[in-house]
Amino acid sequence: MEKAYMNNFTYQYPVRQHFGKGCAESAIKEEMVHAGSRVLLAYGGGSLKRTGLYDKIAGWLHECGKTVTDFGGIMPNPTYAKVQEGARIVREEGIDFILAVGGGSVIDCCKIVAAQARLEEDIWEMQYTRHLFPTEFVPSGAVVTVSGTGAEQNNRAVITNTDMKLKQPLVGSYHSFAILDSDLTRTVPMKQVISGAFDTLSHCMETYMGKPLSDNISDEINEAVMRNVIRNLRALVADPDNDFARGELMWDSALAENSLLKLGKQTDFQCHMIEHAVGAYTDCNHGQGLAVIHPAVYRHLIPEGTEKLAKMAERVWGIREKDPSVAALKCIAALEDFILEVGLPAHWSEMGITDESVMRAAADTCLLTPGCCRRFTRDEIFSILKECM
């Protein structure tokens, strides 16, 4: 049998990390020394102001001599219209630095705002029609309050184009720094914390199932991160005041998306693309949607994904089973049990999604990936989505 090697790669990592409980104030002040004087403070809904975090951050920015312009109301699945609104504010107000405070939606939105504000053409048209990518950006940084997406670690964003009924990736800017203060995760409900942690696990699994499927160092690091997510999510569900677990989950999220686990791999992320397609029609919670989809996707990857799922069974879930086919099924069962254990949904109906025509539309518009073990057809994606109802 031909030997499988890790794919060739070149690795350069640009995002500076500030990690630690209570590090936000010192890190923001340290970074703002190097930032422009007119700052766009971007955030989502009301939690930032309800918890007092908005006043703290605005105060720190003012102490650093910055003029602050608000860009609030960024929705959980940021729309393309919201991106354009942000880009307009940046241009009109002469903004020279963007500070994104929130979870993946806020951070993703700002990555594209930073690019669109420096472009004369429409960035969606530029990337999906002309297949070109931006090269100039408004400088930006990220303060993470909801970990899990790892959005602060990369330059890709997921944006919903409501006119086209598409929720798809766009390439934008890297944030120059990311602030990972686990205390800030207390400003959001536990439901969001749990959903975000599952998103981290999903990132790990989608990378792990990518090619090559043979043993390699990237996958062995991945196995450790997956075990850590599972252990610490259980610990946090049992005790929401567990600061250690919050910090571990935040760093797990970063590791899952800072490219380290993906080195030498052709990653798949078809499960993410399926969830994005459903999200374009339903505006559903991302982590919850992934929890619904993953087990069904893996059942459809048998037999091609059997050996890799069997390895995940042993090395991540601690399942001892000699027969790979049995081990693979036990791996999927363990994942399903974990989803229920931490209070995530197992079916679309639990999320109020019951319209089969939505599943057909999502399957027909889903962005197809090359496939980790094999490529799904649109009809098979429809079957997967129906199984999840």
Residue 1: what pLDDT? 41
Residue 244 zone, left/alpha/beta (φ > 0; ψ -120 to 50; rest): alpha
CB 64 within 8 Å of CB 29: yes
Residue 351: what pLDDT? 96
CB 242 within 8 Å of CB 235: yes
One fold for 16-184 and 198-387? no
- Paired tokens of 61: 């920015």
Mean pLDDT (whole number) for 221-231: 98
Using CA of residue 331, residue 336, residue 290, residue 348, what is the dihedral sign?
A: positive
Using CA of residue 384, residue 148, residue 226, residue 337, what is the dihedral sign?
A: negative
CB 124 within 8 Å of CB 167: no
Residue 6: what pLDDT? 78
Helix ranges (H only) for 117-216 are 123-128, 190-208
Mean pLDDT (whole number) for 106-135: 97
5 has pLDDT over 90: no
CB 344 within 8 Å of CB 198: yes
Residue 374: what pLDDT? 87
Of 266, 259, 254, the C-alpha closest to 199 is 254
Please write the tens of the pLDDT for every residue from 48-57: 999 999 999 9
**DSSP secondary-structure letter at 316?**
T
**3 band by pLDDT with thresholds 50, 70 and 90:** low
Percent of the chain residues topping a pLDDT of 90: 91
278 has pLDDT over 50: yes
Count of all residues that appear for the chain in the document: 389
Residue 125: what pLDDT? 97
The CATH fold of domain 198-387: Dehydroquinate synthase-like, alpha domain (1.20.1090)
In the chain, what are the domain boundaries?
16-184, 198-387
The chain-wide mean pLDDT, for the chain, equals 95
Architecture of domain 16-184: 3-Layer(aba) Sandwich (3.40)
2 has pLDDT over 70: no
- Global pTM value: 0.94
Reported as half-sphere exposure (CB side, CA atoms, 13 A), residue 252 has a value of 32
Please write the tens of the pLDDT for every residue from 152-184: 999 999 999 999 999 999 999 999 999 999 999
**4 band by pLDDT with thresholds 50, 70 and 90:** low
- Paired tokens of 210: 């990518």
